[in-house]
A and B are shown apart, each in its own frame.
Chain A
Amino acid sequence: MTPVLEASASPRELSRARAVARFKWCILAPLVALMALLLLPVLFLQLYFSLHQWTVYLGSWWEAEYVGLDLFAEVLTDPRFGWAVVRSLAFATGSTVGCFVIGFALAYLMRAPFRGHALYYVVFILPMLTVPVVVAYTAEMLLYQSGPINDLISRLAGVEFKPAWLTNPDIALFTVTLLEIWNWTPFSFIILTAGLAAVPREPVEAAEILGASKWRIFWEVELPLLRPVVLLALVLRFLEAMAEFPKTWALLQGGPGTATETLPIYIFLTTWQYFEISKGAAMSYLVMLMMIAIVLAAIALLRREKRSLDAMYGAAAPAAGAA
């Protein structure tokens, strides 16, 4: 049944292989065509604009002046771009770690069934089921300086607690990171819950019989078995956080000042507020290359883990030839 023709294939197997190849292209051709029609022109346009100086104030975009790599040089020497990279990395790292730590703690505490388990589960996934723009506006209702969050904390702690979550440039990025953690901890929680439930019992029981402490079993038996899921939770969350736009934009538009100006925000501002289409395109190109590098590394990591899983459990889908 393999689509690859083998040297010693009989005529019957050959015709079968051809039929499978036809089947394959019937399925894939429309998809490939759609991507070619939609993505190729877009990528081409983006490259065009990053090599040609054009803003909306100039005439037709196809007459823009060719400037070579000047725009890339401009972006790379722009300190504001550098800061946006730093902020994006800090935001993504901070929120990834936050989501992971809280998600893991919740998943671990919820591991064994107990009364109220289902209710906790429902409440814990609700933040993920909130539209990000809604999260931003609700955050504004909660976090203004004399708003309910500060009021509640002041009352519970009995001391005046009045940070300006949204207007103090020193903590605004921290505020959006907290929002991201609130919004997406459910994601880490769900994946890690599924991962913990799938840890096989036998090695754990074996370690128990050998008299290992609970702590040691966790570190030396369970955690290594959980590694693929842990990596998945970290990698996916990091990538999503690098792309986060709606909450930060709807809440602060990169402000106060440039305090929450992450890469997506800065690209958006450059393109749609300053109308420097070409600079925005060059920036987009650099960010795209950076993200492709990160995604490829992430994919390599995930594939390695998946292979080790496949080796351990047997491939989920038996190889095509085996059927």
Chain B
Amino acid sequence: MTKSNRRRIASLVRHGLLGLWAVIAFFPIYWMVATSFKPDTQWFAWPPVYFPDPPTLANYLNVWFGAEQYASTQYAISSQKPLVSLGNSAIIATASTVLAVLAGSVIAYGVSRYRILSEARMFQLLMLRMIPPIVVVAPLSLYYSAVGLLDTFTGLILVYFLTSLPYAVWMTKSFIDEVPREIEQAAEILGASRWRTMFEIVLPLIRSGLVATFLFILILTWSEYLLALIITKTQVTTVPIELSKYQGSTEGRVYGRQAALAVGITVPLMIVGLIIRRHLARGFSFGMVRR
């Protein structure tokens, strides 16, 4: 076998395997999108309908805008709740993430330059994230109802802030570590305080890193389910909870509606994820991948 032949076969095998996984990875997403455009007779049809025929916007108009005329009475879901919960999710995810990135970058600066946390403490910080939330969620909800934080924005924001802090510290630290110290030393000689050096020199230098960290944590917070399920009731529904309300309702299987809702809450996440795709590894790697 000649060398070029062998190379061609290798390339064929590679594309075969990668293509196979690409199909497996993409098909469920395609199915979700396709179902969201299907009229109700095709949601559950046999044989399955692979292309919506004719595609319809009825699911979207009904779920997101409560447009009754597009819904057969059986599937009418009339309120505009999803839009409200989308707003709630946006507020909660943004607020807790901004707080986490702010606190995280200040701590990370202290760790990177002044070792305010030892390496052991830095790893212990990960506990906030690694202990499954299920083991504290019941006492947390009792405590929250005692102090009046149950079903409030503040309550959820505080928990999300704490659970995303480890990632925020570790990720921003990886960016701060790359900033040369000479600049800070110059600022120090000119008499700038530590806080000023941090806020006016170092953090502006890593702003793209801060944005990446922000978006990374936003992804994790946006999809959180268990804590939101327990410590919010009716006032502060987030999108994953809103979606789960369509399950097991008396109307039976409302796949098209679910899919329209699912597309709406997944698309923002995918856009954000694709924007920062080059930084995703950094978020997860805790300084273990050297570039």
* Interface residues of A, Cβ cutoff 8 Å to B: 1-3, 19-20, 23-24, 27-28, 30-31, 34-35, 38-39, 41-43, 45-46, 49, 61, 102, 105-106, 109-110, 114, 116, 120-135, 137-139, 141-142, 146-148, 151, 182, 185-187, 190-191, 193-195, 197-198, 228-229, 232, 236, 239, 242-243, 245-246, 249-250, 263-264, 267-268, 271-272, 277, 280-281, 284-285, 287-288, 291-292, 295, 298-299, 302-303, 305-306, 309, 313, 316-320, 323
A318 to B130, CA, bound (A): 28
Of the listed stretches B67-75, B79-87, B205-213, B257-265, chain A binds B257-265
Contact A42 B280 (CB under 8 A): no
The 5 listed contacts between A and B (C-beta, < 8 Å) are: A3-B116, A49-B138, A131-B239, A246-B226, A318-B181
Task: Verify if B162 is at the interface (C-beta below 8 Å from A).
Answer: yes
Give chain B interface residues in 145-191, CB to chain A under 8 Å: 158-159, 162, 165, 173-174, 177, 181, 185
Contact A193 B281 (CB under 8 A): yes
A95 to B9, CA, bound (A): 31
Within 8 Å by CB of B115, from A3, A39, A106, A272, lies A3
Contact B143 A42 (CB under 8 A): yes
Contact B135 A284 (CB under 8 A): yes
Contact A125 B277 (CB under 8 A): yes
Contact A232 B32 (CB under 8 A): no
Q: Given the complex, which residues of A lie within 8 Å of B35, measured CB to CB?
A: 141
Q: Given the complex, which residues of A lie within 8 Å of B127, measured CB to CB?
A: 292, 295
Q: Given the complex, which residues of A lie within 8 Å of B124, measured CB to CB?
A: 299
Contact A28 B107 (CB under 8 A): yes
Within 8 Å by CB of A138, from B110, B262, B270, B273, lies B262
- Knowing A133-B243, A141-B31, A151-B48 touch, does A191 contact B138 (C-beta < 8 A)? no
Within 8 Å by CB of A303, from B50, B123, B285, lies B123
Contact B143 A132 (CB under 8 A): no
Most chain A CB neighbours (cut-off 10 Å) among B43, B138, B159, B270: B138
Contact B262 A137 (CB under 8 A): yes
Give chain B interface residues in 1-42, CB to chain A under 8 Å: 11, 14-15, 17-18, 21-22, 24-29, 31-32, 35
- Give the Cβ gap from A163 to chain B, nearest Cβ, in Å: 16
User: Chain B interface mostly helix, strand, loop or mixed?
Assistant: helix
A299 to B123, CA, bound (A): 6
Contact B132 A306 (CB under 8 A): no
Contact B284 A126 (CB under 8 A): no
Give chain B interface residues in 99-122, CB to chain A under 8 Å: 103, 106-107, 110-117, 119-120
Q: Given the complex, which residues of A lie within 8 Å of B107, measured CB to CB?
A: 27-28, 31
Q: Mark B88-101, 1 if CB is under 8 A from A, else 0.
A: 00000000000000
A185 to B123, CA, bound (A): 24
Contact A132 B289 (CB under 8 A): no
Contact B287 A316 (CB under 8 A): yes
Contact A133 B244 (CB under 8 A): yes
A38 to B158, CA, bound (A): 9
Contact A131 B25 (CB under 8 A): no
Within 8 Å by CB of B288, from A239, A288, A295, A305, lies A305
Within 8 Å by CB of B135, from A126, A133, A288, lies A288
- Give the Cβ gap from A179 to chain B, nearest Cβ, in Å: 9
A264 to B123, CA, bound (A): 24
Contact A124 B289 (CB under 8 A): no
- Give the Cβ gap from B16 to chain A, nearest Cβ, in Å: 10
Contact A23 B114 (CB under 8 A): yes
- Knowing A131-B265, A264-B132 touch, does A34 contact B162 (C-beta < 8 A)? yes
**In the complex, residue of chain B having the shortest beta-carbon distance to the beta carbon of A319:** B115
Task: Verify if B201 is at the interface (C-beta below 8 Å from A).
Answer: no
Contact B138 A271 (CB under 8 A): yes
Q: Given the complex, which residues of A lie within 8 Å of B174, measured CB to CB?
A: 316
Q: Given the complex, which residues of B lie within 8 Å of A114, measured CB to CB?
A: 11, 14
- Knowing A126-B29, A313-B290 touch, does A106 contact B21 (C-beta < 8 A)? yes
A50 to B271, CA, bound (A): 44
Q: Given the complex, which residues of B lie within 8 Å of A309, measured CB to CB?
A: 288, 290
Contact A130 B266 (CB under 8 A): yes
Most chain B CB neighbours (cut-off 10 Å) among A24, A120, A141, A313: A141
Q: Given the complex, which residues of A lie within 8 Å of B130, measured CB to CB?
A: 239, 291, 295, 298
Within 8 Å by CB of B284, from A35, A191, A291, lies A191
A287 to B138, CA, bound (A): 14
Sort A-B residue pairs by CB-CB distance and give the 6 closest, nearest first.
A243-B132, A194-B281, A246-B225, A45-B139, A129-B273, A284-B135
Contact B288 A131 (CB under 8 A): no
Q: Given the complex, which residues of A lie within 8 Å of B270, measured CB to CB?
A: 126, 129-130
Q: Given the complex, which residues of A lie within 8 Å of B159, measured CB to CB?
A: 38
Q: Given the complex, which residues of B lie within 8 Å of A27, measured CB to CB?
A: 106-107, 110, 116
**In the complex, residue of chain B having the shortest beta-carbon distance to the beta carbon of A237:** B284
- Give the Cβ gap from A127 to chain B, nearest Cβ, in Å: 5
**In the complex, residue of chain B having the shortest beta-carbon distance to the beta carbon of A150:** B48
Q: Given the complex, which residues of B lie within 8 Å of A317, measured CB to CB?
A: 111-113, 173, 177
A116 to B225, CA, bound (A): 35
A187 to B113, CA, bound (A): 30
**In the complex, residue of chain A having the shortest beta-carbon distance to the beta carbon of B240:** A133
Task: Verify if B222 is at the interface (C-beta below 8 Å from A).
Answer: yes
Q: Given the complex, which residues of B lie within 8 Å of A194, measured CB to CB?
A: 281-282, 285, 289
A319 to B177, CA, bound (A): 11
20 extra interface residue pairs, beta carbon distance < 8 Å, beyond A31-B165, A137-B259, A299-B124: A2-B115, A23-B114, A38-B162, A45-B143, A46-B138, A124-B25, A130-B270, A131-B223, A132-B223, A146-B48, A190-B280, A191-B284, A229-B285, A245-B226, A249-B225, A281-B138, A284-B135, A284-B136, A303-B123, A317-B113
